[in-house]
């Protein structure tokens, strides 16, 4: 498998693949890390599975994406002679894997989390990706939207084997603990009786500016005081503070960076998580909120939302640019009584069971088995 860097939540996934009987698994790392996420820069020797850095040139883009050029990977492929190579997306490495396949040495699988909303869909890019996907032996998607995007690239009448690997978290961390009541009482004293929560980077593509306008209207129309708790950092922090001051919205709380072990409590004191992302692949905050048992209001442009949110059951899927509709849904969710909330929590915890490390790892193993079968 090739990866630019390894996100912390991927470690258990790759460990699950590596421990599969009969599978010789290795990760090739093509980049050093992301400056804004130094905690993601793991040393290969510290990982619970074989990993190796491959030299090359890497460029970090403004949106934290990384472009890597590692031509030596082709020599690494020819040296190690893997039967199947799992490529993350349509990268330079995917092109090298395609050359490796054309040389008759093995097969490659494309693992795609992107959707029509996150990808650059100009004519040249689509043609190049169609060329790469045609030679792939299997495809791994991250849910309905990413599978839909992959299928849009396939030539007519060309069938490919698809496998789904959902992103995962340790959901038990976000289930409210019995002994947390004293801490929660102390935290709740700081905020209004009901609260909307946002967790994520404070950047435009996360929909934070749309959320501010929605909150402004909700705070005017809702019969009781309601807070907006914002957890995260980013370049829009100053703009958010100016918005708060301009509209005298004293119940906006910017909490900044919060340690992961302290994050669950923010879900437990909130009544609703909102994410109006304009382009977002598979944010883990969805699983955190559903595991915590609170309703969610998610943009239809977010990759994993439609796989886990059922309108009226545990929240709603919305158009991030339809402020009026979002406001109405937010007001409705804030009014849900305890019985409705408990039913929603049960539904959410049940549906998130399909996003587990065992099944997500198994999807990659089965994709590789399919590729080798065709070899």
Whether residue 64 sits in one domain with residue 188: no
Nearest to 330 by CA among 188, 196, 206: 196
Is pLDDT above 90 for 94?
Answer: yes
Q: What percent of the chain has pLDDT over 90?
A: 83
Whether residue 188 sits in one domain with residue 78: no
pLDDT (tens digit per residue) in 5-18: 888 899 999 999 99
57-60 vs 51-53, strand pairing mode: unpaired
> What number of helices (H) and strands (E) belong to the chain?
14, 15
**Arithmetic mean of pLDDT, 153-157:** 93
Whether residue 305 sits in one domain with residue 246: yes
Whether residue 160 sits in one domain with residue 33: yes
Are 309 and 316 spatial neighbours (Cβ–Cβ below 8 Å)? yes
Whether residue 191 sits in one domain with residue 295: yes
pLDDT (tens digit per residue) in 36-80: 665 677 889 989 999 999 988 887 776 667 788 889 999 999 999
Q: What percent of the chain has pLDDT over 70?
A: 97
Whether residue 307 sits in one domain with residue 188: yes
Whether residue 314 sits in one domain with residue 189: yes
End-to-end alpha carbon distance in the chain: 18
Report the distance separating Cα 306 and Cα 295, nearest Å.
14
**Arithmetic mean of pLDDT, 289-307:** 96
Is pLDDT above 90 for 275?
Answer: yes
Report the distance separating Cα 325 and Cα 311, nearest Å.
13
Whether residue 152 sits in one domain with residue 196: no
Instruction: Take residue 138 and report the two structure tokens written for it.
Output: 């299997």
pLDDT (tens digit per residue) in 177-197: 877 888 899 999 999 999 999
Its pTM stands at 0.92
Q: What is the CATH number of the domain that holds 183?
A: 3.40.50.2000
Is pLDDT above 90 for 220?
Answer: yes
Whether residue 319 sits in one domain with residue 178: yes
**What Å distances lie between residue 311 and 106, 116, 198, 222, 324, CA to CA?**
44, 22, 20, 21, 17
Number of domains in the chain: 2
Backbone angles phi, psi at 39, to 5 degrees: -70, -10
Whether residue 19 sits in one domain with residue 138: yes
Length of the chain counted residue by residue: 375
Whether residue 302 sits in one domain with residue 185: yes
Whether residue 116 sits in one domain with residue 252: no
Report the distance separating Cα 168 and Cα 181, nearest Å.
27
Q: Which residue range is the domain that position 301 belongs to?
A: 171-354
> What count of other Cβ atoms lies within 10 Å of the Cβ of residue 364?
25
> Which strands, in side-by-side order, build the sheet including 296-299?
252-256, 226-231, 194-199, 272-275, 296-299, 315-318
Q: DSSP assignment, residue 16?
A: H
Nearest to 81 by CA among 114, 56, 104, 48: 104
Q: Where are the alpha helices (DSSP H) in 177-284?
A: 181-188, 208-221, 237-246, 264-268
Q: Provide CB contacts within 8 A for 198, sequence distance 6+.
A: 208, 211, 228, 229, 230, 231, 232, 273, 274, 275
**Arithmetic mean of pLDDT, 130-158:** 95
């Amino acid at each position: 498998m090739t990866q630019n860097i390894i996100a912390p939540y991927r470690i258990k996934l790759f460990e699950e693949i590596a421990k599969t009987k009969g599978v010789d698994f290795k990760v090739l790392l093509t980049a050093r890390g992301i400056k804004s996420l130094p905690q993601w820069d793991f040393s290969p020797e510290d990982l619970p599975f074989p990993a190796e850095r491959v030299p090359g040139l890497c460029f970090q883009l403004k949106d934290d994406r990384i472009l890597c050029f590692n031509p030596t990977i082709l020599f690494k492929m020819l040296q190690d002679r893997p039967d199947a190579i799992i490529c993350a997306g349509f990268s330079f490495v995917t092109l090298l894997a395609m050359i490796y396949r054309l040389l008759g040495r093995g097969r490659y699988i494309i693992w795609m989390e992107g959707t029509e909303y996150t990808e650059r869909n100009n004519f040249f890019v689509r043609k190049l990706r169609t060329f790469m996907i045609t030679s792939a032996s299997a495809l791994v998607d991250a849910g309905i939207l990413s599978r839909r995007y992959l299928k849009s690239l396939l030539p007519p009448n060309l069938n490919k084997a698809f496998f789904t690997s959902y992103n995962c978290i340790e959901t038990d961390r976000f289930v409210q603990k019995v002994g947390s009541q004293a801490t929660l009482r102390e935290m709740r004293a700081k905020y209004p009786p009901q609260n909307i929560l946002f967790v994520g980077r404070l950047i435009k593509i996360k929909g934070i500016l749309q959320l501010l306008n929605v909150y402004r209207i909700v705070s005017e129309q809702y019969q009781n005081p309601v807070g907006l708790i914002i957890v995260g950092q980013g370049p829009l922090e100053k703009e958010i503070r100016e918005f708060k001051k301009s509209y005298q919205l004293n119940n906006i709380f910017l909490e900044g960076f919060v340690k992961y072990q302290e994050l669950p409590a923010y879900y437990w004191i909130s009544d609703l998580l909102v994410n109006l992302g304009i382009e977002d692949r598979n944010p883990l905050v969805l699983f955190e909120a559903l595991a915590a048992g609170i309703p969610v209001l998610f943009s239809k442009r977010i990759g994993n939302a439609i796989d886990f949110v059922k309108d009226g059951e545990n929240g709603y899927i919305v158009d991030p640019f339809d402020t009026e509709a979002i406001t109405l849904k937010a007001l409705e969710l804030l009014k849900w009584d305890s019985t409705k909330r408990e039913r929603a929590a049960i539904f959410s915890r049940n549906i998130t069971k399909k996003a587990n490390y065992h099944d997500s790892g198994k999807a990659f193993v089965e994709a590789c088995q399919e590729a080798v079968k065709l070899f």
